Amino acid sequence: MATIHRAPRPTTEPDQKAGPKRFHFPSAFTVLFAVTLGVWLLAFVIPTGAYDTDASTGRPIPGSYASTPNPLSFGDRLMELFMAPINGLYGVMNADGKIGPYESGELYGAAGVFLFVLAIGIFITMAMRTGAINEGVARVAQRMSGRGTVLIAVLMVLFSIGGTTEGMAEETLGFYALLIPLLLALGYDRMVAAATILVGAGIGVLASTVNPFATGVASGAADISIGDGIGFRLLMYVVLVPVAVWWVTRYARKVKADPSHSMVGDSEGDDELRAHGLRVVPKLSFRHKSVLTLVALTFAFMIFAIVPWAQVIHGPDAASYGWQLDWYFPELAALFLMMSLVVGIVGGLGEHRLTETLVKGAGDFVGVGLIIVLARGVTVIMNNSEITGTVLHAMENTVNGTSSWVFGGLMFLINVPLAFLVPSTSGHAALAIPILAPLADFAGVQRSVVVTAFQTASGVVNLITPTSAVVMGGLALAKVRYDQYLRFVLPLVGLLLVLGTGFVALAAAVS
């Protein structure tokens, strides 16, 4: 058998012997601390203001914006900064919209996502401890050794389907531990693995067709059916998904042909992961097959449990089917904790190794959970400073009185900064659409154009925003620095901005 010689891969470790010390981009924690401080300082400059809300729906009333007295003293602002990480974990939003750990109302912090990430970490670590994941990855790598880009394309399409139908986002965090060793074994790097998941699911959310958390909430806020504009959104999906797949597979081919083209190099342990995938694997044992089956069924059940089937099929106001679970992060965290124990028992770990692995899995993923908490803390500062209404009012004035196609393009562009201020797609829709949708009537444009503009802009921004738990958490799991990811994805984001503006302007012109 011929020996395959691979070019040496670039390393992420600096050369200690040669040249002066180079600048190294800070970690995700430092980036988020800087963003938190920047947003906190910005709140001193932007005037405070708010819209009146409809008592029956809680939606902002168009034309009701008014400046409000600054609600926070300097001491209060310091406390907001001090408490941002705590509010990001378990801050509660009261009836007046104020978020704090001692308020009464709905949980706003990311405690549910935090526990979900820890549970995913335990589950994946448990499955890997049994040896089944390594063996399964090696088998897939052998079968797909000459068709890696096909595998990447198929995975991206699957993630995009999850994004366009049910807004798959935080749920993708569990797939990094599965895809990274597989794609490393196929000759790619960690950027390819991160982009397959992030860009794959993100492009689906960007071109949401029936996503109840984006299209559904926005359509309800605009008082239209979720089916209004679905034909145009489906056209966007058909056009934009191949663009995203082309971008990722283009980079993947370059890295496989010449590893020196990698933007991330190797991380510690990558050679070991790659070696595991490249070895010849005998037939999987019954125990390994059982563990892999349990892993696959758990992820499949997760997807079934979170999809709001009735709302996707009949619209956001439809009553749930009797068999519909409507699970969210608390139930999913419990599912993965329970299945971790099942996998450990079936995998033959025994009581000592099972409990040891449980603690190790939570410890390995706690850093990712903290990043998610910090990102949520930034949005708490923006909310409590009452600056979002002022930004929205400025944008409302921008689009008044424009022609239809200009209205469409501007509607897309003004939703871009709003998406940064409110990274939650459902929160963005609930805030902005009641204000922006009625403006379409004056421009002679269908309200579905406003919904499409919102979700497209939100989807583009959420591919890169450092306030997104999905972006920062995913990059932490992939061990890809934020600046490296930006260098990879910003040209694609620029292309999507141009295409998105053109699509929405066209939709407005022909509506």
Percent of the chain topping pLDDT 70: 93
Handedness of CA 6, 11, 16, 21 (dihedral sign): positive
pLDDT, one tens digit per residue, over 88-106 is: 999 999 988 899 999 999 9
Mean pLDDT of 270-284: 69
Judged by average pLDDT, the poorest of 152-156, 276-280, 337-341, 445-449 is 276-280
Report if residue 382 sits inside a domain: yes
Residue 502: other Cβ atoms inside 10 A:
14
Sequence-separated (6 or more) residues with CB below 8 Å from residue 184: 190, 193, 270, 273, 274, 277
Report if residue 51 sits inside a domain: no
Check if the beta carbon of residue 304 is closer than 8 Å to that of residue 332. Answer: no
Give the pTM. Answer: 0.76
Residue type, 130: T
The C-alpha atoms of residue 117 and residue 157 are separated, in whole angstroms, by 24
Cα-flanking dihedrals φ and ψ of residue 53, to 5°?
A: -120, 150
Residue 202: other Cβ atoms inside 10 A:
30
Report if residue 137 sits inside a domain: yes
Report if residue 60 sits inside a domain: no
Using CB atoms within 10 Å of the CB of residue 224, give its burial: 0 to 12 exposed, 13 to 18 middle, 19+ buried.
buried
Question: What is the Cα gyration radius of the chain?
Answer: 23
Mean pLDDT of 106-134: 88
Query: What pLDDT is attached to residue 345?
Result: 96
Cα-flanking dihedrals φ and ψ of residue 5, to 5°?
A: -100, 125
pLDDT, one tens digit per residue, over 184-226 is: 988 999 999 999 999 999 999 999 987 877 887 888 788 887 7
Residue type, 137: V
* Number of domains the chain is built from: 1
Query: What pLDDT is attached to residue 271?
Result: 81
At 8, is the secondary structure helix, strand, or coil? coil
Report if residue 135 sits inside a domain: yes
Residue 337: other Cβ atoms inside 10 A:
18
Query: What pLDDT is attached to residue 10?
Result: 53
Report if residue 255 sits inside a domain: yes
Structure token digits, residue 17: 């012997």
The C-alpha atoms of residue 338 and residue 388 are separated, in whole angstroms, by 41
Percent of the chain topping pLDDT 90: 39
Report if residue 56 sits inside a domain: no
pLDDT, one tens digit per residue, over 5-40 is: 444 555 544 444 455 566 666 777 888 888 899 989
Check if the beta carbon of residue 492 is closer than 8 Å to that of residue 198. Answer: no
Query: What pLDDT is attached to residue 19?
Result: 52
**Residue that wins the pLDDT comparison between 291 and 468:** 291
Report if residue 296 sits inside a domain: yes
At 138, is the secondary structure helix, strand, or coil? helix
Of the candidates 504, 22, 126, 167, the one whose C-alpha atom is nearest the C-alpha of residue 343 is 126
Residue 110: other Cβ atoms inside 10 A:
29
CA-CA-CA-CA torsion for 236, 240, 241, 243, nearest 10 degrees? 160
Mean pLDDT of 135-158: 83
Q: Domain of 468? A: 28-42+71-510
Query: What pLDDT is attached to residue 193?
Result: 95
Look at residue 267 and tell me whether its pLDDT is greater than 80: yes
Judged by average pLDDT, the poorest of 18-27, 318-327, 368-377 is 18-27
Query: What pLDDT is attached to residue 1?
Result: 38
* Reported confidence tier of residue 3, pLDDT bands at 50, 70, 90: very low
Mean pLDDT of 41-67: 83
